[in-house]
């Protein structure tokens, strides 16, 4: 009885699936879209923070911060990062204070209670460039510039994606994909858009932010501020903003794994020891 019942239930589900399958096979069509044809995987990017022994290159982080401050911060917030956090980039207390002072953060007039702005202090978070989403939308052709704090964790291949996007703008009229195909005219970005094959729908609202060598003036002894170099540096900086504890995590990992290996080997020997009399075959 149980057997017949179960077979009936089984037939119900399998019949339903078979029906879906037949309809599916009849209409079978591999997905196809211009986005799929033209969307490119991010370029390779190697950062010193990569890998199990990865460490931040503090000079690079400072350069990346400079790029953020002078270019990106015009439109993009960094709301999860406080000025005090910048000490991890190798700035001393006075430098952190000076950086904070350079930013105007929202404040309240202590005498009148009116909303105003004041120079930042170390415990302040990076201020948002727009008062709210509506203002951000209005100033940017209806596209809100996303917050950058977690950007490299919020996208597949995070830092490589940021780097590719910044250096990947192309002219839709002359661009050819890997198969040598030109972009169909109807897929050209609208007047307010910008063609970028590293962006999922190929049409990015952000105009190319890094356009010329020396757009950001790096200090003595730094590499030449080419567009490529600035893009790398800001990608590295955003790895840090997304996970300031990355270095500590990796550094903690090794002793933990080392200890576990040691303890597991001891445990294995003890296990062999305990079972010594039970494992013998006659």
Partner 1 sequence: MAEQAVTDTPETGAGDGVRRRDFINIAAVSAAGVGGLATLVPLISQMAPSADVLAASSTEIDISSIQPGQAIKAEFRKQPVFLRNLTPQEIAAAEAVPLSELRDPQTLKERTKEGKLNWLITMGVCTHLGCVPLGAGEGEVKGDFGGYFCPCHGSSYDTAARIRKGPAPLNLQVPEFEFTSDTVVKIG
Partner 2 sequence: MSFPWANEYKPSHPFMQWMDEKLPVPRLVYNAVGAGYPVPRNLNYFWNFGFMALACLGIQIVTGIILAMHYAANGGVAFDSVEHIMRDVNWGWLMRYAHANGASAFFVVIYVHIFRGFFYSSYKAPREMVWLLGVVIFLLMMATGFLGYVLPWGQMSFWGAKVITGLFGAIPLVGEPLQQWLLGGFAPDNAALNRFFSLHYLLPFVIVGVVVLHIWALHIPGSSNPTGVEIKTESDTVPFYPYFIAKDGWTLGVFLFVFCAVLFFAPNMLGHPDNYIPANPMSTPAHIVPEWYFWPFYAILRAFTVNFFFIPAKLMGVMAMFGSILVWFFLPWLDKSPVRSGAYRPLFRKFFWFGLIPAMLVLFYCGGAPAEEPYVVLSQIAALYYFAHFLIILPLVSAVEKPEPLPYSITEAVLGHDENAKLANAG
| Binding region for partner 1 (CB under 8 A) | 82, 84, 122-123, 259-260, 262-263, 266-267, 269-270, 273-274, 276-277
Q: Which is nearer to partner 1, 169 or 240 (CB)?
A: 240
Q: How many CA atoms lie within 13 A of 135 on its CB side?
A: 7
CA-CA distance, 145 to 136, in Å (whole number)?
7
Out of partner 1, partner 2, none, which partner does residue 123 contact, by CB within 5 to 8 A per kind? partner 1
Out of partner 1, partner 2, none, which partner does residue 25 contact, by CB within 5 to 8 A per kind? partner 2
Q: Which is nearer to partner 1, 135 or 270 (CB)?
A: 270
CA-CA distance, 3 to 95, in Å (whole number)?
78
Report the interface residues with partner 2, using CB under 8 A. 2-3, 6-7, 9-11, 13-21, 23-25, 28-31, 52, 80, 85, 146, 149-150, 153-156, 158, 200, 242-245, 248-250, 252-254, 256-257, 260-261, 263-264, 267-268, 270-271, 273-275, 278, 281-282
Q: Which is nearer to partner 1, 254 or 259 (CB)?
A: 259
CB of 266 to partner 1, least distance (A): 4
* Residue whose structure tokens are 């202590």: 110
> Using alpha carbons only, what angle is made at residue 207 by residues 206 and 213, rounded to the nearest 5 degrees?
125
Out of partner 1, partner 2, none, which partner does residue 14 contact, by CB within 5 to 8 A per kind? partner 2
CB of 235 to partner 1, least distance (A): 25
Contact 124, 133 (CB under 8 A): no
* Residue whose structure tokens are 């209806």: 142
Q: Which is nearer to partner 2, 37 or 228 (CB)?
A: 37
Out of partner 2, partner 1, none, which partner does residue 74 contact, by CB within 5 to 8 A per kind? none
Contact 61, 240 (CB under 8 A): yes
**Distance of CA 15 to CAs 21, 26, 175, 274, Å?**
10, 16, 49, 54
Out of partner 2, partner 1, none, which partner does residue 10 contact, by CB within 5 to 8 A per kind? partner 2
Out of partner 2, partner 1, none, which partner does residue 29 contact, by CB within 5 to 8 A per kind? partner 2
Contact 240, 88 (CB under 8 A): yes
Q: Which residues contact 102 (CB under 8 A, 6 or more apart)?
A: 119, 120
CA-CA distance, 103 to 36, in Å (whole number)?
42
CB of 270 to partner 1, least distance (A): 4
Out of partner 1, partner 2, none, which partner does residue 119 contact, by CB within 5 to 8 A per kind? none
Contact 247, 48 (CB under 8 A): no
Q: Which is nearer to partner 1, 30 or 276 (CB)?
A: 276
CA-CA distance, 108 to 114, in Å (whole number)?
5
């Amino acid at each position: 009885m149980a057997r017949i019942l179960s077979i009936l239930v089984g037939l119900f589900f399998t019949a339903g699936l078979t029906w879906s399958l037949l309809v599916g096979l009849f209409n079978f069509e591999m997905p196809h879209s211009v986005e799929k044809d033209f969307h490119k995987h991010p370029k390779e990017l190697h950062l010193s923070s990569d890998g199990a022994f990865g460490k931040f290159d503090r000079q690079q982080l400072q350069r990346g911060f400079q790029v953020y401050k002078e270019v990106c911060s015009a439109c993009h917030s960094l709301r999860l990062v406080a000025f005090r956090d910048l000490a991890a980039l190798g700035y001393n207390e006075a430098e952190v204070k000076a950086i904070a002072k350079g930013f105007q953060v929202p404040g309240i007039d202590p005498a009148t209670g009116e909303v105003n702005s004041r120079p930042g202090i170390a415990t302040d978070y990076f201020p948002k460039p727009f008062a709210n989403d509506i203002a951000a939308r209005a100033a940017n052709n209806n596209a809100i510039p996303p917050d950058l704090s977690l950007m490299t964790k919020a996208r597949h291949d995070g830092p490589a994606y940021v780097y590719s996007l910044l250096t990947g703008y192309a002219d839709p009229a002359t661009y050819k994909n890997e198969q040598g195909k030109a972009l169909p005219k109807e897929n050209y970005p609208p007047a307010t858009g910008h063609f970028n094959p590293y962006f999922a729908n190929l049409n990015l609202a952000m105009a190319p932010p890094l356009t010329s060598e020396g757009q950001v003036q790096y200090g003595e002894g730094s590499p030449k501020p080419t567009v490529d170099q600035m893009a790398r540096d800001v990608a590295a900086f955003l790895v840090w903003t997304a996970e300031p504890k990355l270095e500590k995590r990796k550094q903690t990992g090794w002793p933990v794994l080392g200890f576990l290996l040691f303890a597991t080997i001891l445990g294995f020997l003890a296990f062999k020891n305990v079972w010594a009399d039970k494992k013998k075959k006659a």
